[in-house]
Amino acid sequence: MTLQLSDIVLSYGGSPIISRLDLQARPGEILVLTGPSGCGKSTVLRALAGLLRPDSGEILADGQPVRTTSRDRALVFQDNALLPWRTVQSNVELALKLAGTPRSERAEEARRWIADVGLSGFEHYLPKSLSGGMRQRVQLARGLAGAPRAVMMDEPFGALDTQTRTSMQKLLIDTWRAHPTTVVFVTHDVDEALLIGDRIAVLGRAGQPLRALLDVPTPREALADRSALRSEVIAALDTPEFP
């Protein structure tokens, strides 16, 4: 799915957070949004998901104006958004139900997704009995189950330790390759942006224009020397590398 932001203004209570942003997520790409804290990354994702209407400008999903949320456009958050009283299996089945998967196919399909994210055997666990990384795997399965045509991810790995985070990044890329969809991925982490993104958009501080829009050479694995690109992103971020 193509997601198009055309000259959009987003504000809360009259103060502009995003002014006149033009940005497109191309079909099947991973577009990373990064930028300083408070610059409006989550706000842009909420608008793309249809949770927030722009003051002006247009948001189009495959040419159609985005007015509400849709099962075509899923949202995955950083914090645990699983239903605590439902098991892993039942959380994933719910996503399939909302996506319109027939009842008779849900159990089997949910098991496949749970296996894809490496959680076979944990189907009957409640979220509270899982580690943070495991919960994030369930969220990934839930976000991608039902084959949404676009997925918005808001710092989904932000709360994980470095090792778990690295394995989740790999899992995301593998899962996305197996089930291609347009992804808009928000992160603070420059290395995560370089690893995951096909393109990286660096947003300016609230109300300022886009600072940079960079292509990441593919295939990702062949990107032996990221240092030049890394410097470009850091320069655009205009923040100390080790604050």
Ligand X SMILES: Nc1ncnc2c1ncn2[C@@H]1O[C@H](COP(=O)(O)OP(=O)(O)OP(=O)(O)O)[C@@H](O)[C@H]1O
CB-nearer residue toward ligand X: 15 or 163: 15
Among residues 3, 5, 17, 194, the one that binds ligand X under rule CB under 6 A? 17
Residue 57 and residue 6 in contact, taking contact as beta carbons nearer than 8 Å: yes
CB of 155 to Mg ion, least distance (A): 6
Per DSSP, the residues of 92-127 read: HHHHHHHTT--HHHHHHHHHHHHHHTT-TT-TT--G
127's contact among ligand X, Mg ion, none, with CB below 5 to 8 A by partner kind, is none
Binding residues for ligand X, total number by CB under 6 A: 10
CB-nearer residue toward Mg ion: 130 or 206: 206
Residue 38: Cβ-neighbour burial (10 angstroms; 0-12, 13-18, 19+): exposed
**Interaction between residue 23 and ligand X (CB under 6 A):** no
Instruction: Please list every residue from 39 through 78 that binds ligand X, using CB under 6 A.
Output: 39-43
Read off the tokens for 22: 């033009």
**Interaction between residue 150 and ligand X (CB under 6 A):** no
Residue 22 and residue 7 in contact, taking contact as beta carbons nearer than 8 Å: yes
Alpha-carbon distance of 41 to 189, in angstroms, equals 13
**Interaction between residue 182 and Mg ion (CB under 5 A):** no
37's contact among ligand X, Mg ion, none, with CB below 5 to 8 A by partner kind, is ligand X
CB of 97 to ligand X, least distance (A): 29
CB of 154 to ligand X, least distance (A): 7
Using left for φ > 0, alpha for ψ between -120 and 50, and beta otherwise, residue 215 falls in beta
**Interaction between residue 175 and ligand X (CB under 6 A):** no
3-state DSSP call for residue 173?
Answer: helix
Contact map string, positions 206 to 225, toward ligand X, x by CB under 6 A: x-------------------
Residue nearest to Mg ion (CB): 42
Please count the residues of the chain: 243
To 10 degrees, the CA torsion angle through 177, 21, 39, 188? 20
Q: What are phi and psi of 35, to 5 degrees?
A: 150, 170
**Interaction between residue 243 and ligand X (CB under 6 A):** no
**Interaction between residue 42 and Mg ion (CB under 5 A):** yes
Cis bond before residue 219 (omega within 30° of 0):
yes
The type of residue at 109 is: E
Q: What are phi and psi of 32, to 5 degrees?
A: -95, 135
Q: Which stretch binds Mg ion (CB under 5 A): 40-48, 111-119, 173-181, 199-207?
A: 40-48
CB-nearer residue toward ligand X: 63 or 242: 242
Binding site for Mg ion (CB under 5 A): 41-42
Binding site for ligand X (CB under 6 A): 12, 17, 37-43, 206
